[in-house]
Structure 1
Amino acid sequence: MSTETAAAAAEVVAPPPAGWEEARSRVYAVGLAAALPAVSRPLADADGHTLAEPLTPRTDLPAFPTSSVDGWAVRGDGPWQVVGRVLAGHTPPPLQADGSTVEIATGAMVPEGTTAILRIEESTRTADGRVAGTPRPTPEWREPGEEAYAGEELLPAGTPVDPAVLGLAASCGHDTLRVRRRPRAALLVFGDELLTSGPPGAGRVRDALGPSVPAWLRRYGCQVRPADVVGPVADTLPAHVAALRAALADADLVCTTGGTMHGPVDHLHPTLEALGADYVVNTVAVRPGFPMLLARLVDDDGRVRFVAGLPGNPQSAVVALVSLVAPLLAGLQGRPMPVLPQVTLAEPVPGRGDYTHLALVRWDRVAGTAHPVRHVGSAMLRGLSGADGFAVIRPGTSGVGGDRVPVVPLPLTPGERSW
């Protein structure tokens, strides 16, 4: 074999990048196929999790007829003789005689035999102490099952648990919820050139991803402990293999920063090969952020773990998070693939040829408009700090003011549903 032939045979031909929308769909599908197991959590510990089964009431809601007002539960025509009082939290005896009434509080159980409830402010007392007035023609109480019937599906599996869901679950009579276990995530920071403290200088730059990526992951529902953030990892293959193997021992997802290309100190691809990983996505046709990847490892016992290779440039790394990590985590948590909202561009946004362009924007939710921000180079974070998300400019197009385009919202508060 000639030298030229041997060199050609040894050359690795990179696969074509996946389209951005295709990549999102692909990683969501593998995440959903590996959805995390269901666990039972007390309501106090379920916030931020995801329902693993539909939420249904254990009884009708309300479970019994409930007064909507403070007033008088009356039977028959008035005026009525007062025979008692009903407060919330008690089971009253029936009203047995026409012309009788009991004082009733809002939320109290309506006595059997009640024909109407007279509001307290619309009642008067007769000289002999009886109650007089005209009840309103519409019932002043809630009927059993008015809100929901026992066993009725109120929320589907895949619903994120938030304070409103917790309140509803409690009203349904639940003490615990079946939820998906929250994903455990870790971060490996690659790059000998990185500083972890102080200002940049002398050819070295400050690591901006070590502090920020775990915070993004928490906002997507992950558990990330301080000990799960490791780096900078030495720029050698043995150091990369050892660090990734250790991180995968406990994590469902390991994110790495840098090393996603094939440069002289880019060891991520050989590390994945050494650990027996297979690629779900290897590069995405998106700018910024092109050299991103997602790989999967399957143990002999069937346990599935993932490695997300984020580019080293900070804004590109965030593009990889919203493009690959967010849909993967939605799948792992059993959540539906979210539909991206539409916004109106307030100003032109350039396209990137055959690549999808994710352009940082401020999103005016009242007006429904997106405004491009400045300082948006792939190595810059100034623009990101003032942005609400990324406008999606599809391949082969440019954004014109007035165009309707999808937007990928950033999860700006912990547990926020949008992504």
Structure 2
Amino acid sequence: MNMPWNLARQTAREAAKPLDAVEVALPDAVGLALASGVRALASQPACDTSAMDGYAVAGPGPWTIVGRVAAGDPVPGVWLGSGKAFGVATGAPVPGGSEAVIPVERTSVDNRRLAGEAVTGKHIRRRGEDWSAGDELVPAGSAVSPAVLGLAAGAGHDTLLVRRRPRAAVIVTGDELLHSGPPRPGRVRDAIGPMLPGLLAGADLLGTTHVRDDPSALADALTFDQADVLVTCGATSVGPADHLRRVLAELGAEILVSGVACRPGHPMLLAVLPDGRCVVGLPGNPFAALAAVLTLLQPLMNTLSGHTVRAPITAWLGDVNAHPKDTRLIPVTRTGTEAVPVGHDRPGSLRGAALADALAVVPPGHLGGEVELLTCASAS
């Protein structure tokens, strides 16, 4: 009996644990998931700092200018008494006792006497205003975006502790497949193999192996032990050339998902080999294979990568002839808050998916309402 779609995806998320934590230099962390939160190594700002070019002042004006400080200079070793002013640059430390900074364009100076209007607290960034030393700035499980990278550098970090990338290997099966040139009667181009690297962009792809519809060749390919995840294409159904289930049984694998109540893609499967390597079986039809990637492979890869599960993206979708028992995944474009089907959703064709922004998850019996959208992006 095919597993409900939501349960299958949850099973994939729980099929493995996050991979090892590694410490890497900041530039090498982009796209990876934090294995521990980013904490500030120093307060920001580290001292009271001017937010404008101008004059730090204390007390009522007019003020006598008693010094100047530039960005990068140490904190002035003076206390700014009432009626005194200190020239400051943007980002420069202000003297102790400073009550406000007046922008230079709002002042006039005559023989070291400063005139202007001060607003208490204005244009001074106080020590620790953004964060204090020890504060957690980004939680574990977050993806390291360019902004996170810059924040980590600003907080004092030269390295980050992240989860290593999953290692994946692809096995494409099928005597009928061509790997170059146009299809011809009885032979079809492999569309899944070229699609997968982009969907595995968050992983290290160790290579793609093409094997004939031969169980011993498939078994040999599955013995490759350098990958965390083996992705097979084809051979997942119950026809005479569909050997994957039998080969997995002979290898002692535990099959966690053996078919999903999903259209397209119901013959997809998920298994764990005795040494802990995971096998995701994609159906041979290209659109069905994409459905399996989004249902099983990407949730598994996100868990291995250590990424936190994100809140789902949703949109309103009308009546699309939902199946009474199975979940449908249909290609849609998004216009505002509404998802619009693009058609061309046969299991063997990627035409609709190529035109779509996402696949809408249409639950059984759906007559109209909010649905989840799955973007066809990489696992990271």
TM over 0.5: yes
> Match for 2:208 among 213, 219, 229?
229
> Match for 1:334 among 303, 306, 317?
306
**Cα deviations by residue, 1:156-175 (Å, 9 ceiling, x for unpaired):** 11101111111111111111
CA distance in 2, matches of 1:162, 1:93: 37
User: 4+ residue stretches of structure 1 with deviation over 4 A?
Assistant: none
* TM superposition score normalised by structure 1: 0.87
Partner of 2:366: 398
Amino acid at match of 1:238: S
CA distance in 2, matches of 1:134, 1:373: 62
* TM superposition score normalised by structure 2: 0.95
Structure-to-structure mapping, 1:193-208, within 5 angstroms: 193-208=176-191
Amino acid at match of 1:122: R
**Cα deviations by residue, 1:23-45 (Å, 9 ceiling, x for unpaired):** 111111123xx210100011111
Contact kept, 8 Å, 1:187 with 1:214, in 2: the verdict is no
CA distance in 2, matches of 1:317, 1:277: 21
Matched, 1:182 2:165: yes
> Match for 1:290 among 240, 257, 266?
266
Matched, 1:124 2:108: yes
Cα RMSD, aligned residues only: 1.6
Contact kept, 8 Å, 2:316 with 2:338, in 1: the verdict is yes
Structure-to-structure mapping, 1:44-83, within 5 angstroms: 44-83=27-66
Structure-to-structure mapping, 1:258-337, within 5 angstroms: 258-299=234-275, 304-337=276-309
SS of match in other structure, 2:14? helix
| Equivalent pairs, count | 379
Structure-to-structure mapping, 1:79-228, within 5 angstroms: 79-96=62-79, 97-126=81-110, 128-218=111-201, 221-225=202-206, 228=207
Between the aligned residues of both structures, percent identity stands at: 43
**Cα deviations by residue, 1:184-218 (Å, 9 ceiling, x for unpaired):** 11111000100000000031000011111111111
Structure 1's unaligned 5+ residue stretches are 1-15
Offset at residue 98 of structure 1 (A)? 4.0
Contact kept, 8 Å, 1:86 with 1:104, in 2: the verdict is yes
Compare the two structures and name the one with the higher strand fraction.
Answer: 2
SS of match in other structure, 2:138? coil
Amino acid at match of 2:356: A
> Match for 2:227 among 238, 243, 251?
251
Contact kept, 8 Å, 2:58 with 2:100, in 1: the verdict is yes
> Match for 2:373 among 399, 407, 410?
407
Contact kept, 8 Å, 2:69 with 2:76, in 1: the verdict is no
CA distance in 2, matches of 1:150, 1:98: 31
CA distance in 2, matches of 1:398, 1:75: 68
Partner of 1:30: 15
CA distance in 2, matches of 1:292, 1:362: 25
Contact kept, 8 Å, 1:280 with 1:294, in 2: the verdict is yes
**Cα deviations by residue, 1:314-358 (Å, 9 ceiling, x for unpaired):** 00000000001111112112222333222111x431112211111
Offset at residue 109 of structure 1 (A)? 1.2
CA distance in 2, matches of 1:55, 1:399: 45
Offset at residue 21 of structure 1 (A)? 0.5
CA distance in 2, matches of 1:384, 1:155: 34
Contact kept, 8 Å, 1:393 with 1:399, in 2: the verdict is no
Contact kept, 8 Å, 1:75 with 1:95, in 2: the verdict is no
**Cα deviations by residue, 1:117-150 (Å, 9 ceiling, x for unpaired):** 1111110012x23221121234321112211122
Offset at residue 89 of structure 1 (A)? 1.3
Partner of 1:12: none
**Cα deviations by residue, 1:387-419 (Å, 9 ceiling, x for unpaired):** 111212212x0333xx222222221xx67x6xx
Matched, 1:369 2:317: no
CA distance in 2, matches of 1:356, 1:179: 35
**Cα deviations by residue, 1:222-254 (Å, 9 ceiling, x for unpaired):** 1114xx1111x02111111111212xx111111
Contact kept, 8 Å, 1:43 with 1:177, in 2: the verdict is yes
